[in-house]
Structure 1
Amino acid sequence: MTTAQPRHRFQTFDDPSHRKGPERIAALRAAMREARVDGFVVPRADEHQSEYVPAHAERLAWLTGFTGSAGTAVVLADAAALFVDGRYTLQAPEQVDTGVITPVPLAEKTAEAWLAEALKQGAILGYDPWLHTPDGVARLERAVAKAGASLRPVAENLVDAVWAGRPRPPAGAVVLQPEALAGEGASDKLARIREGLSGSGCDALVISDPHNLAWAFNLRGSDVTHTPLALGYALVPRQGRARLFLVSSEIAPEVRSALEGLADIAPRGAFADALAGLGNGRIRLDAATGAAALKNLVEAAGGVADVGPDPITALKAVKNEAEIAGARAAHIRDGLAVTRFLAWLDARAAAGALGEIEAVEALEDFRAAGGELRDVSFPTISGSGPNGAIVHYRVTRATDRRVQPGELFLVDSGAQYRDGTTDVTRTVAVGEPSAEMRDRFTRVLKGHVAISRAVFPKGTTGAQIDALARLSLWEAGLDFDHGTGHGVGSFLSVHEGPQRIAKTGTVVLQPGMILSNEPGYYRAGAYGIRTENLVLVRDIEIAGAERPMLGFETLTLAPYDWRLIEIALLSPAEIAWIDAYHGRVRETLSADLASETALWLERATAPLVPGV
């Protein structure tokens, strides 16, 4: 890779300054006094409850400096707290001004429990009904009731009222996802959606999740970084013509023509009136992404808000043959880029000159060089030494560090291609790893292999499989505080439900679902380890089986770092699986690699036990 190669930058490395935390919290408190509320809730959310939100909806980051993808701040007149899950317990205190905002791990206390204790009797807690689901509002109502306080929606978000220079809402171009890649026409999808709607007793469905909107209408956009979404809503009646409400007005004539064959198209601003105009019908609102404001609009018009699952979510989770073929092709393309990067990283790190930002940029260049990259699927996690212990670490120019000999380097990254979405994590040794590092890496790898090799009867949930990834760590008194796997979309979100492999994974796994397989271990202040591949649920034929069985096909193609593997901890079956996987990586990728990189891959994928 030469310095003359053009660079394609999809992520930046600036960090919201927490030095402005006191000033911004003070401004919010002034707005609270003007609005006559004693507290205000600031979730990391937009009107669609999305994980990745447009810049103008990054209220939590602007207010607190915290850049994680999940979290909630509560600001009262005399206290403020930020509630984060296990992924961010190390990151949050590093990013916020802890003299003004107290980070609180959700494992210790929820925002609702904190509010029940902190609110004074008679206090009024404000919230934006567009940023909370009906269930979320109900939880807040129960919390304030315990405190003898009350809950009040605000007409204008109080953070927006004090956010000087707030970015404008996006309105990117809308494009069509070709049917050859989608695998099914949008008209057929809408027919399936209506069929599911008929069984629910509802008169219409509100599509509030932009991912579901994209899937149902075979459209994509650029309103959100890292996920190709066109923001908007749709109304799909049980009978009659659908209506599509898009933020963007940038729709090419051929795209508009195709969409008008499916639905009436209107601007996003017309959606609230259209929803109110439905009258006294029974309207399905998605429990996960439908804002409380939508429920209020339906009920104000005399309708019944039927809050439950959007049927599209389950349909979208099961990939068809075209989407599966696209995923396999995307992973071969991505595997070539990641392997080239790992070979480059090996040489660069050995020279003691590797920086975290430099690694992010290099990996992006290797992916872009293939000519098919549309975006990274999330900001690359590039953590050296202690930064690797921060589960969702995001390098900034202020935190960028060079990896030192004797450290581990963790790189978790992914890409968006028109035919598939990828997500892969590799942990590599720089210099000689310690015996502890090898032990921990191998225990994580054993859990990763256990998931990869698992076979299970139809009807199994992700929660039933999750323990397989943890058993070897548990034997040493260790664990990790995140799920083992999340669902993945098809040129859509890298984090797609409802399926997941986690203690809370209650959804039954079905053939065609794609998930991640990513156990980890994190020693705070020292290093982090995570190994991740994407896997496809598929039918498994077992001679003499008494019931239908499923298993996983591994899609990701990239070598593990053999220098971190403690072979004595592996069983013969685990060694055989790793060798077979490495053999597939080598056979699939080598012909398309330059000779020097192919030679590196041959060494990296050599049998763990030579001659066996």
Structure 2
Amino acid sequence: MTFVEKLQTLRQLMAAQKVDAYIITAADPHISEYLPAHYKAIPFACGFTGSAGTLVITQEFAGLWTDSRYFTQVETQLNNTGYELVKLKVPHTPEYIDWLRQVLPKGAKVGFNHQLITVGLALEMQNSLTQRGIEITDVDFISTIWLDRVGLPVENAFLIDEEAAGLNISAKINEVKAALKINGADYHFISSLDDIAWLFNLRGKDVDYNPVSLSFALIAPAAVKLFIDKQKLSQTDIDTLNQQGVTLHPYAEVAEALKNLPKDAQVFIDPKRTCFGLYQCLPSSAKIVSGINPSTHLKSLKNNTEINHIRKAMLNDGVALTRFFKWMEDHLGKEKITEWSAAEKLAGFRAEQTSFVGLSFNTIAGYNANGALPHYSVTAESNQEITADGLFLVDSGGQYLYGTTDITRVMPIGNCSPTQADDYTLVLKGLIEGSKLIFPEGTKGYQIDSICRKPLWEHAINFGHGTGHGIGFFLNVHEGPQNISPANVDVAFKPGMVTSIEPGIYRPGKHGVRIENLVLCIPKGNSEFGDFLTFETLTLCFIDTSIVNKTLLAPDQMEWLNQYNQMVFEKLQPLLSTDEAAWLEEKCKPI
């Protein structure tokens, strides 16, 4: 079926069941960012491949609600599908709820799959729509028409040992139980795959780029249950889990386990990381304690073992990136290089590194105008040849045993304009200001965000994405609870958190600039005014200085840049060939 035919069929099913509006979310029952192919319903329905969006269908209108990162992409992908773009005013907000309140009459019915929506969003929708006399109902029309849908992934999973993780499973479980006690809960249901992976030292291959395995967990006063298809694990790993006090249960039995909880259970759930369908399985008399999963906070504070492994991963990544950029410089103009072939070449250099497992996300390789799309994904149609002019933006990362990387660099190809040089330098200033920041304990991400944006704001420039996100330890490239963004996220930075800093400037149809490093939050000292923190930069890849507009850099910013590039050379030089080291030394010369 074409997208138009699929839309027509969905509307027929809606009419048959008297559903006035049907919502399709980009989610799975674990509320994952990256979805197994089985749950990629939005690409199936309309062709949109971005990671953030919601489809809302009525008999008169069909729209995709998404944010500014995808506006240009949507214009192409929604063409002739029957769907229209609806631009979100505020990213990551369900603005379609107000739209439904306005267009639907009293007595209307709104349907969506309760397994594919968060508790928080479903309750918000329920409260808002019922005030208008609009009913919500659990329906799944997508499964009815998706006849060639692939099954759930069945990839093998494995445990990482204490030597790699720094803590064994039982110790982590005890930390979570201590947090539950403080919150007045005796049971804890966990849906989020990265939280489960951290808690049980479990890794897998069920989701592209994220080394996780489909599973649920239930912590009870006298038992810890892991719901996972047993055949995914070796007998050795099963024995290890049992020895650590964990019993295994079939993945499909989680709903029944929730229904059988004691009626007076006090259950801790994360309403943003738990699906509404499983929430509805809890006994109606149970007391629900809501909050961020304790494991999310614990996971964000990397221990010394994890930090040491991450530093090794950065060395591996730095070697791969050095070889890639040298290869680019040596071969540009001598052979045809495209965005696609460059991304494949970079993946090849990473694959040569010891402990490499795979990419941490789909590489963004954008030349000139394509670099202005923050979440650009090269396709056969968009693939550009990289020639002699402009800027080439590469945002990429790797999963290593054990560590996750995420880095963005912009390579000046030649004949760069003064505007491109100024944009590059202003973004660099934003990175530097965040990286060298000293801040008091208790500082939140939105406070740091404004400091990183200040060099751009001074030139009436801004960007539409966050400035930074947490990074997992051989886990998801995006993790919380901390971030650096304008959103008022009430999470303070603490020592042990690894976060990206990645300001950008995007000029549609022209070029984009983003420079990104990962930083570790560390203590800085104290005074009569309290304890202070700062960042240690972990990423090891030179920052190109060839187009820096020195007049825009303050002396302390120039000093930071020179010291950073010198550190990169000193740490990577022993791992490079003589020719590679000489090339890198030239790139890292002070300016």
Q: Give secondary structure in 2 for the equivalent of 1:184.
A: coil
**1:289-333 C-alpha deviation (Å, 9 max, x unpaired):** 111112211135x42333322111111110000011011110011
Structure 2 residue runs of 5 or longer lacking an equivalent are none
Q: Is 2:118 aligned against 1:133?
A: yes
Q: Give secondary structure in 2 for the equivalent of 1:341.
A: helix
User: Within 2, Cα distance between the matches of 1:525 and 1:148?
Assistant: 46
Going from structure 1 to structure 2, the CA distance change for 1:350 and 1:461 (only over 3 Å counts) comes to: farther
Q: Which residue in 2 is equivalent to 1:412?
A: 395
Going from structure 1 to structure 2, the CA distance change for 1:93 and 1:299 (only over 3 Å counts) comes to: farther
- Name which of 144, 149, 159 aligns with 2:134: 149
CA shift at 1:518, angstroms? 0.2
Q: Which residue in 1 is equivalent to 2:499?
A: 515
**Aligned pairs, number:** 585
Q: Give secondary structure in 1 for the equivalent of 2:479.
A: coil
Q: Which residue in 2 is equivalent to 1:186?
A: 169
Q: Is the 8 A contact 2:258 2:283 kept in 1?
A: no
After alignment, is 20-29 or 562-571 more displaced?
20-29
CA shift at 1:147, angstroms? 5.3
- Name which of 2, 6, 13 aligns with 1:31: 13
Q: Which residue in 2 is equivalent to 1:46?
A: 28
Q: Which residue in 2 is equivalent to 1:289?
A: 273
Q: Give secondary structure in 2 for the equivalent of 1:393.
A: coil
Q: Which residue in 2 is equivalent to 1:246?
A: 228
1:127-276 correspondence runs (5 A): 127-145=112-130, 148-154=133-139, 157-237=140-220, 239-247=221-229, 249-261=231-243, 262-276=245-259
Amino acid in structure 2 at the alignment position of 1:288: K
After alignment, is 69-78 or 101-110 more displaced?
101-110
Q: Give secondary structure in 2 for the equivalent of 1:122.
A: coil
After alignment, is 354-363 or 35-44 more displaced?
35-44
User: Within 2, Cα distance between the matches of 1:248 and 1:127?
Assistant: 31
> TM-score scaled by structure 2?
0.96
Q: Is 2:426 aligned against 1:436?
A: no
Amino acid in structure 1 at the alignment position of 2:311: R
Structure 1 residue runs of 5 or longer lacking an equivalent are 1-18
Amino acid in structure 2 at the alignment position of 1:506: D
CA shift at 1:481, angstroms? 0.3
- Name which of 339, 343, 354 aligns with 1:371: 354
Q: Is 2:81 aligned against 1:95?
A: no
Going from structure 1 to structure 2, the CA distance change for 1:99 and 1:23 (only over 3 Å counts) comes to: closer
Q: Is the 8 A contact 2:355 2:402 kept in 1?
A: no
User: Within 1, Cα distance between the matches of 2:507 and 2:450?
Assistant: 20
CA shift at 1:244, angstroms? 0.9
Amino acid in structure 1 at the alignment position of 2:507: R
- Name which of 276, 295, 311 aligns with 2:294: 311
User: Within 1, Cα distance between the matches of 2:451 and 2:163?
Assistant: 37
Q: Which residue in 2 is equivalent to 1:361?
A: 344
Q: Is the 8 A contact 2:230 2:249 kept in 1?
A: no
Amino acid in structure 1 at the alignment position of 2:458: E
Q: Which residue in 1 is equivalent to 2:48?
A: 66
Q: Which residue in 2 is equivalent to 1:6?
A: none
1:323-362 correspondence runs (5 A): 323-351=306-334, 353-362=336-345
User: Within 2, Cα distance between the matches of 1:528 and 1:460?
Assistant: 30
RMSD: 1.6
After alignment, is 443-452 or 171-180 more displaced?
171-180
- Name which of 552, 560, 566 aligns with 2:543: 560
Q: Which residue in 2 is equivalent to 1:122?
A: 107
User: Within 2, Cα distance between the matches of 1:336 and 1:478?
Assistant: 34
Q: Which residue in 1 is equivalent to 2:520?
A: 536
Q: Give secondary structure in 1 for the equivalent of 2:148.
A: coil
Q: Is the 8 A contact 1:21 1:96 kept in 2?
A: no
User: Within 2, Cα distance between the matches of 1:98 and 1:320?
Assistant: 51
Q: Is the 8 A contact 2:119 2:272 kept in 1?
A: no
Q: Give secondary structure in 2 for the equivalent of 1:68.
A: coil
Q: Give secondary structure in 2 for the equivalent of 1:249.
A: helix
Percent identity of the aligned residues?
A: 36
User: Within 2, Cα distance between the matches of 1:28 and 1:561?
Assistant: 51
Amino acid in structure 2 at the alignment position of 1:75: I
Q: Which residue in 2 is equivalent to 1:14?
A: none
CA shift at 1:142, angstroms? 4.2
Q: Is 2:430 aligned against 1:447?
A: yes
Q: Which residue in 1 is equivalent to 2:490?
A: 506
Q: Is 2:570 aligned against 1:587?
A: yes
Amino acid in structure 2 at the alignment position of 1:20: T
> TM-score scaled by structure 1?
0.93
Going from structure 1 to structure 2, the CA distance change for 1:560 and 1:545 (only over 3 Å counts) comes to: farther
Q: Give secondary structure in 1 for the equivalent of 2:356.
A: coil
Q: Is the 8 A contact 1:174 1:248 kept in 2?
A: no
Going from structure 1 to structure 2, the CA distance change for 1:77 and 1:356 (only over 3 Å counts) comes to: same
Q: Is 2:457 aligned against 1:474?
A: yes
1:375-390 correspondence runs (5 A): 375-390=358-373
Q: Give secondary structure in 1 for the equivalent of 2:68.
A: coil
CA shift at 1:21, angstroms? 2.1
User: Within 2, Cα distance between the matches of 1:249 and 1:367?
Assistant: 31
CA shift at 1:136, angstroms? 0.5
Q: Give secondary structure in 2 for the equivalent of 1:411.
A: strand
CA shift at 1:266, angstroms? 0.8
User: Within 2, Cα distance between the matches of 1:94 and 1:346?
Assistant: 32
**1:60-95 C-alpha deviation (Å, 9 max, x unpaired):** 111121111111111111211111123222222222
Q: Which residue in 2 is equivalent to 1:111?
A: 96
After alignment, is 109-118 or 244-253 more displaced?
109-118
Amino acid in structure 1 at the alignment position of 2:115: W
Q: Is the 8 A contact 1:117 1:147 kept in 2?
A: no
User: Within 1, Cα distance between the matches of 2:197 and 2:64?
Assistant: 32
**1:23-63 C-alpha deviation (Å, 9 max, x unpaired):** 22222222323333122111110001110110001111111
Q: Is 2:558 aligned against 1:575?
A: yes
Going from structure 1 to structure 2, the CA distance change for 1:41 and 1:172 (only over 3 Å counts) comes to: same
Q: Is the 8 A contact 2:367 2:391 kept in 1?
A: yes
Q: Give secondary structure in 1 for the equivalent of 2:55.
A: strand
Amino acid in structure 1 at the alignment position of 2:104: L
Q: Give secondary structure in 2 for the equivalent of 1:32.
A: helix
CA shift at 1:256, angstroms? 0.8
Going from structure 1 to structure 2, the CA distance change for 1:539 and 1:98 (only over 3 Å counts) comes to: farther
Q: Which residue in 2 is equivalent to 1:15?
A: none
